[in-house]
A and B are shown apart, each in its own frame.
Chain A
Amino acid sequence: MLRIEYAYWLIAAFLLYTGLRNLREQHGWHAAFWLVLGTLFGSGDYVLAQQATGHALPAQLAGIGVIVLALLAPRLRRHAHVEGNNAEQRLQSAIRLGHKLFVPALLIPLVTLLVALFGAHLFIAGHAVFATPQMTLTGLALACLVSLFAAARVAHAPMRDGLAEGRRLLDAIGWAALLPLLLAALGEVFTQSGVGAAIAALAGTFLPTGSAFACLLAFALGMVLFTVIMGNAFAAFPVMMAGIGLPLLIHQHGANPAILGSMGMLCGYCGTLLTPMAADFNLVPAALLELRSPYGVIRAQVWSALWILATTFMLMWLLVFR
């Protein structure tokens, strides 16, 4: 039976491989970062199982691991990698392969979708092929393997080249890869620490919490505002969710979690279009295009962002309490 834990072990193996390659190339900080992360991934199930039976030590060690990652992250510098193929070779290959190059990439969502839709009905000799928890993500991991095989066929390259190229991309992403994961963990820590309850109590003093509309509006505008301040919708999400989304909208007013989460996040994305704090998207392109105003791109996005925000909010209001 295929379980999500296998996917975590696969990720752990890839992270450890990335760490070892960095170690061999004497990028010490990078090696340490990926090796610690790989160890956390590989031992995650053991940590959770021990925690469930009342043994806190593995979880405490994992906590120390997280702090070590945070201390290592500022030391990661993006180091230049030698491209495996030169530009001319890549262009020739692009002309030769054409749209075939999209096929393996298409296989990832396709196989995932098939597993998500039909995985529950798949049996071999009376045993379910996929375990029910996190079946979609187990399917995604499987899809990545299938697609890697297909990519190796299309590109006429051995699969280990895929590992080396994947490691190159992972090193280029660096600590940023960890951010969504840490923000999700932060949401949990915030809730356990009573941050959500405190925001909800504060909101209750000036917000008519009996009005579902007022709560939803505060949630959406809060997502935008926090995203504008922090430059990152992912960071705004756990804060607004713990404060208004979960206690007021879902528990008190019965909002649909899937719609609230998805569309709430999109409200935050509208904020990303408006803020110079999201430098990668708004300031870097302005510099790249040699605009005379660094805020030129933001100015070009303002009306689109506001209209998309208004539309998303309207849709959310119409759908979320059904």
Chain B
Amino acid sequence: MNYWPLLGVAVIVVGFLLRFNPVLVVVTAAISSAMLAGFTVPALLALLGKSFVSSRMLLIFVLTLPVIGLLERAGLREHAQRWIGRLHGLTLARLLIGYLLLRQLLAMLGLTGVAGPAQTVRPLLAPMGEAAAEKILPTLSDADRDELRAMAAATDNIGRFFGEDVFIALGAVLLVQGFYAQHGIELTPLSIALWALPTAIAAFIIQSVRVWLYQRRLQRRAASARTESAS
């Protein structure tokens, strides 16, 4: 058994850790593995070229960009933000869970860019969350605020991650399909996307429970603060 081609994996790990450009790292890893496996230069170039053009389906998402660009110019992002703004006045748990649901649904449609840390969490969700938390516990410490904002960012990430896998034009589904197609296993993108649904539902439930537990912890602290001041 020739173990030298494994160094290609090491090239990726080291390259990513040292923050070289990922495109350069991946191509270097491919070349190193093939060289160490004893490919000649012409055979290596042919393998690289053939593997690349056989994976072209992975770039099909660029066809959605003109649509999204046009809609964003017509205010899609602003509309999504106003929509999220309407969650204003809900309790903390309902606010975060409602946002989680919207974020997951938008990601399932491929609209991952209309919400995000810069687009919605920092300007909307975090301040709205702090306002809702202050209604429960008026004496929020700085550490509490940090925890709350981190919770908002976490909710945003989880909503996005476990929604986008259900949309067939984004990387995850097509990467899986492309990998199998090159190894002689033909699958439709839908059959792969469908199996991301159970985890999407599980992620929604798990994060909702955690948000709800967090709110209950705040409520208990508020209750004990009240009994202390009463006694």
Contact = CB atoms under 8 A, between A and B. Distances in A.
B73 A234 contact: no
Given A180-B58, A185-B30, A311-B206, A263 B176 contact: no
Contacts of B168: 109, 112, 136, 140
A110 B15 CA distance: 40
B53 interface: yes
A92 to B, nearest CB: 8
Given A177-B62, A188-B51, A291-B149, A193 B69 contact: no
Given A104-B71, A105-B109, A177-B62, A315 B49 contact: no
A11 B182 contact: no
A24 interface: no
Contacts of B199: 263, 266, 308, 311-312, 315
A134 to B, nearest CB: 7
Most chain B beta-carbon contacts within 10 A, residue among A47, A101, A175, A238: A101
A181 B49 contact: no
B117 to A, nearest CB: 4
A322 to B, nearest CB: 12
A261 B194 CA distance: 11
Contacts of B42: 56, 60
A301 B63 contact: no
Interface string A255-282: 0011101110110010011000100011
A258 B71 contact: no
B5 A198 contact: yes
Contact of A304 (B24, B45, B206): B206
B21 to A, nearest CB: 4
Interface residues of A, number: 155
Interface string A82-120: 011101001111110111011011101100110010000
A286 B122 CA distance: 10
Most buried by B among A135, A169, A195: A195
Given A11-B62, A263-B195, A277-B16, 5 more contacts: A90-B77, A148-B70, A181-B58, A292-B146, A304-B210
A271 to B, nearest CB: 11
B157 A104 contact: no
A101 B71 contact: yes
Interface in B38-63: 39, 42-63
Interface string A15-35: 100000000000000000000
B45 A15 contact: no
A166 B65 CA distance: 5
Nearest to B123: A288
Report whether over half of chain B's contact residues are helix, strand or loop; otherwise say mixed. helix
Contact of B150 (A63, A184, A286): A286
A14 B59 CA distance: 11
Interface string B59-81: 11111111111111111111100
B52 to A, nearest CB: 5
A317 to B, nearest CB: 12
A40 interface: yes
Contacts of B173: 262
Which one of B9, B182, B193 has the greatest number of beta carbons of chain A within 10 Å?
B9
B69 to A, nearest CB: 3
B174 interface: yes
Contacts of A60: 42, 45-46, 49
A185 B48 contact: yes
Contacts of B79: 94, 97-99, 101-102
7 contacts: A11-B62, A62-B53, A63-B44, A69-B23, A94-B75, A155-B73, A194-B2
Interface in A191-235: 191-195, 197-199, 201-202, 226, 229-235
